[in-house]
Structure 1
Amino acid sequence: MAVILKYIIAGLVRFWLIHTDYWQTISNRVEIATPLNSWKRLIEGVYLYDNSINPYEGDSFHESPILLIFFHFILKQAPYIMPMFFTIVDLLTAYFLYKTSKEFVGLLEKNQEKNKDDIANESKSMLLQGSQLSEVPEYVLSVFLFNPYTILNCVGMTTTVIQNLFLSVSLWSAVTGYQLISCGCIAFATHQALYPITLIVPISILLADANKGCNKCSYIRTLLVFVLCWGFLIYISAYIMDGSYDYVYNTYGFILNVPDLKPNIGLFWYFFTEMFEHFRLLFVCAFQINALVLYVVPLTLRFRNEPMLLATVLITLSAIFRSYPCIGDVGFYLALLPMWKPLFSYLMFAYLKREFTLKHGTARLVDGKPAKLVLR
């Protein structure tokens, strides 16, 4: 009953704020709306498309053609449902994050019991109890529903709301072993914003664990399904645009080249406004490598046995280093942090410290004598 009450309150807050006089101000804030997710730009793209003008010929619309045609249909048929639509999508995201955390807690409890013999006797007290585990999904749900970042992201009616839904569904379906749903959702999120492509690595591991198939064939099959889904979305988008792939330059190209340097909460705009144009290509490549590929391999090698932690870290890094971030991206990864509540007392490198202490105990001995750390 308490969970249902949270949904009702959170939904009413979002729905009410969308209908206040502050909506216009909120939807135009640079912290909330970016050139990629702005409702204002989406409306402009729909208007151009409705008047038989290619919205990708200008420099104002950068969303996926699939979302373009979807919102074109909704706005033509029933524009009055938009506030309710965004509210429901945000509540669905909260629901799937809640379900994901419940599944994760169950897996965590099983793994903890399975590895109990490898834990030092003096560290047994660090094992998570039933009450500690059961409250984690409640925290995840509350943090997403009542975080001002996610509320404002929904009230601003940004398309990041839709991206977050697909990310949450992909995590839930990966934990529960639904390969096609997970790959399809992560493919759509990638088609929309590109950076979620990094999540195919933890998604592959989660699916392999859920389906008891931790082998190369399982990973390759997941990667193949993802590529096919993404390719299908690209083909459908081209079909919508009368067989033309020109939209790619104003979607993926816009994300990678970062031509719009209006202020936002990210790093790109400030750095490139201060830099000589002669070095732009070099630093664009360096920044995008940092955002897309630099952390994937080392983090995967270290946290391959904890794919949910790997996914959380990659989502966090993506929110920080993507070219056009918004507070909706931040709000999403903040909602995942309560799953790691047992690690909070070990910040930083929290996971590594707790893992070491579980195996070796809390005592620190050198040559049989108590050791201490002295800073000089």
Structure 2
Amino acid sequence: MDGSGDLAFPALVAARLLLAFAPLPDALKYDQQLSSPLTSYSRLREGIYLFQHGIDPYSGGAFRHSPSLLSLFSTVLPLTPYTSPILWTAADAVAAWALVRIWRLRTGAKETSRDGQIAALYLLNPYIFLPSLALSTSSIESMLCLLAVMFACRGRASAALFALACLVQLSLPAVLLAAPIILLTVTRPVSRLALPQPYHAQWKRIIPLLAEFVGYTALLTFASTVVCGNWLWVEKTWGATLTLPDLTPNPGLWWYFFTEMFDHFRPFFLMVFSVHLLIYIAPLCIKFQHDFLYATFLLLGVQALFKPYPTLSDPGLFLSMFSIFPEIYPYLRHPIVTALIHLHASLLLPLFNSLWLRQGTGNANFFYASTLVFGMGNGAALMDAIWAGLRVAVGELKEGYEVAQE
């Protein structure tokens, strides 16, 4: 970073750490907007307690975290009221550092004047730091995601694929990112949106990388099974994203739909909702084959919008990554409208959540209406990003004619 950036980053991290130790309401840890059944800190602590006392935490229906977190936080990094805020702040700091590194690699510069701004846009994003204050493990997922992208941008394929495999252990929907990250490792992360060129697949390099990713995933899966002593964790963690057994309210679009769903229709719509996430991979990778970093960014937006158990961290990561694509800003179609929808949703979500679950003066329709507004905001941001990514490659001639993308 430049001189100001060198001071800004540690100052931001120090401020975040002080905020993490501030006497904040414990209700944050139980807020459905900040943590889900798969990322809840209280459920993680409960699982660790059962594991340390010789009880299989996956024998019940509450613990749905990865065995990787179970083994890590029950041995090497024990969770206490003092260590937890430090660990989660460190995770956010590493994520912000990785985002700055991605920006530098994209611009091809060692330092830029925007480094401090990019770090601040991540660390001060309410969608990022509120789940972190709630000690949601989604903060760790965001860190692993940005590390995987950063290593891919640097061409360090093994490190990128291992980080992605670790992320898949925590969150199965992250497998959506496998294709663009593998392709990103064999290309350059520099900005190519304005100069689109067809990508000629290098199968001799891609297939070994895919095999390496599968190998890392298989190795971590085996290690998780050894930790647990059985395969029950697969159903409770990965299976939860496919079968949606816990309908605890969250900012996503799934929970209310399946609350109202008749049981005999449930398997069909679970299949439709799950397969629906897969259909975006090929179109986005093909359309943005000249810039796989941008395709990765867009798939993060798809994941934030349609993930089964989302938290505010998921759209927060997507929105924070806007900062590394300044070339699209002039081409965003409705940025003010999108920002206002997000502002509106950020006010409605806690208000309607409180009216329903705390004061008892509302019902589930109140909160679900606010999640629909939130989904509209995320969808609008995603559509804006897709439109701008396509529009930046269109030049205007002096006579007023347009040159379409090749």
Distance 1:316 1:76, change over 3 A: closer
Identify the residue that residue 23 of structure 2 maps to in structure 1.
21
Q: What are the residue-to-residue correspondences of 1:108-187 with 2, within 5 Å?
A: 134-187=112-165
Report what 1:306 is aligned to.
291
The alpha-carbon distance between structure 1 residues 227 and 213, as it changes in their structure 2 partners (threshold 3 A), is farther
> How many Å apart are 1:363 and its aligned residue?
4.1
- Cα deviation code 1:48-88 (max 9, x no counterpart): 11111100011111111111011112565876322111111
Instruction: Report the Cα offset of residue 182 of structure 1.
Output: 0.2
Give the TM-score normalised by structure 2.
Answer: 0.78
Separation in 2, partners of 1:294, 1:361: 36
Alignment partner, residue 45 of structure 1? 47
Q: Contact conserved, 2:5 with 2:115, CA < 8 A, in 1? A: no
CA contact (8 A) 1:136 1:338 kept: no
CA contact (8 A) 1:17 1:23 kept: no
Relative distance call for 1:134 and 1:361 in structure 2 (3 A) is farther
Instruction: Give the corresponding residue for 2:204.
Output: 217
Structure 1 residues 41 and 341: CA distance shift in structure 2, 3 A: same
d(CA) in 2 for partners of 1:312 and 1:153?
21
1:125-160 C-alpha deviation (Å, 9 max, x unpaired): xxxxxxxx9455444222101111211121111111
Q: Which runs of 5+ in 2 are unaligned?
A: 190-198, 333-383
**1:323 and 2:308 are equivalent in the alignment:** yes
Partner amino acid, structure 2, of 1:174: A
- Mapping for residues 1-376 of structure 1, pairs under 5 Å: 1-74=3-76, 76=78, 80-106=82-108, 134-210=112-188, 215-242=202-229, 244-291=230-277, 293-347=278-332, 348=384, 349-357=387-395, 361=397, 363-365=399-401
SS of residue paired to 2:247: coil
Q: Which amino acid aligns with 2:87?
A: F
Indicate how the Cα distance of structure 1 residues 134 and 299 shifts in structure 2: closer, same or farther if over 3 A, else same: same
Distance 1:270-1:14 versus aligned 2 partners, 3 A rule: same
Identity rate, percent: 27
1:146-182 CA distances to partner (integer Å, 9 max, x unpaired)? 1112111211111111111111111111011101100
Aligned partner letter, 1:236: A
Measure the CA separation in 1 of the matches of 2:74 and 2:181: 32
* 2:296 partner amino acid: A
Whole-Å Cα distance in 2 between the matches of residues 75 and 296 of structure 1? 36
> Across the two proteins, how many residue pairs are aligned to each other?
338
**When the two structures are superposed, what TM-score results if normalisation uses the length of structure 1?**
0.84
Aligned 8 A contact 1:103 1:176 in 2:
yes
- Kindly provide the amino acid, as one letter, of the partner of residue 213 in structure 2: F
Q: Alpha carbon RMSD of aligned pairs, Å?
A: 2.3
Task: Answer 1 or 2: higher relative contact order, Cα 8 Å, separation at least 6.
Answer: 1
Deviations 1:301-349, CA, capped at 9 Å, x for gaps: 1111110110000011101111000011121111110122221222241
Structure 1 gap ranges (5+): 108-132, 367-376
d(CA) in 2 for partners of 1:74, 1:213? 45
CA contact (8 A) 2:253 2:308 kept: yes
Opposite residue 352 of structure 1, the aligned amino acid is L
Local SS of the residue matching 1:262: coil
Secondary structure of the equivalent of 1:333?
helix
**Structure showing greater Rg:** 1
Alignment deviations for residues 253-283 of structure 1 (CA, whole Å, 9 cap, x no partner): 1111111111110000121122222211111
